[in-house]
Amino acid sequence: MTSQLFSKIDFIEFTLHADVLRFGDFTTKAGRQSPYFFNTGLFTDGDAIAKLGRFYAQAILNAKINFDMLYGPAYKGITLSASTAIALASLNRNVPFAFNRKEAKPHGEGGVTIGARVSGRVLIVDDVISAGTSVRESINVIEAAGGAPCGIVVSLDRQERGTGAESAIQEIEREFKLPVISLFCLDDLVDYLSQRSEMADNLKRVSEYRTRYGAG
């Protein structure tokens, strides 16, 4: 990956090689049988998390979104916000970052956040939006601290319907009027698989899943 170009194919292959993106039979939180599984918590060494931060940083810069700091919701967002801030600094965009505690700390520095003071335009850095619960909690924390959420960046847009016709990301964008940047989406994965004959079985199963549960 260069400092000028973000490739979704590069990112998909990066997650495949790290076994973060897997194919098989998995059950989602919604009880659906999914032919694929994605979990950024499986990036477990320094080189992988450094590369992940660079992918996030380049996607953010490519989106040309105006922001003053990063915020990562616990727990996965902690590593994501830190690694992305480091990567941004290497690209001459030095910004502060913060993340939250699961429970407020009554002693020491106290509060519900750790890191920089939450203020200005705050970009939320997370892994995947499933039901939108984490995003709503993050928005509440940011606003309570005096900041203004300005967008969200995630690894994967699953493009799955929630309780209605919209996906969780579409619901968040509509409800909070915030842009959501994804490093890749399910349609990108389908396109990727369609160009690789050795993955024909995975393509068939993922395409069927997209047709059955996908949002418009």
Domain count across the chain:
1
Identify the active-site residue in 29, 102, 107, 177. Answer: 107
Indicate whether 1 belongs to any domain.
no
Contact of 125 with 70, CB cutoff 8 Å = yes
Give the pLDDT of residue 103. 65
Between 85 and 129, the higher pLDDT residue: 85
Structure tokens at 41: 């918590």
Indicate whether 165 belongs to any domain.
yes
Identify the active-site residue in 8, 105, 177, 204. Answer: 105
Indicate whether 108 belongs to any domain.
yes
In this model, does residue 101 exceed pLDDT 90?
no
Residues 120-178 have pLDDT tens digits of 999 999 999 877 778 899 999 999 999 999 999 999 999 998 778 899 899 999 999 99
Tell me if residue 76 is catalytic: no
DSSP SS3 for 137:
helix
Indicate whether 3 belongs to any domain.
no
- The DSSP code sequence of 39-73 is -GGG--SHHHHHHHHHHHHHHHHHHT---SEEEE-
Domain of 183, CATH number, reads 3.40.50.2020
Tell me if residue 17 is catalytic: no
Lowest mean pLDDT among 99-113, 154-168, 192-206: 99-113
Residues 22-64 have pLDDT tens digits of 999 999 877 889 999 999 999 999 999 999 999 999 999 999 9
Q: Which domain holds residue 13?
A: 8-213
> Taking all residues of the chain, what is their mean pLDDT, rounded to a whole number?
91
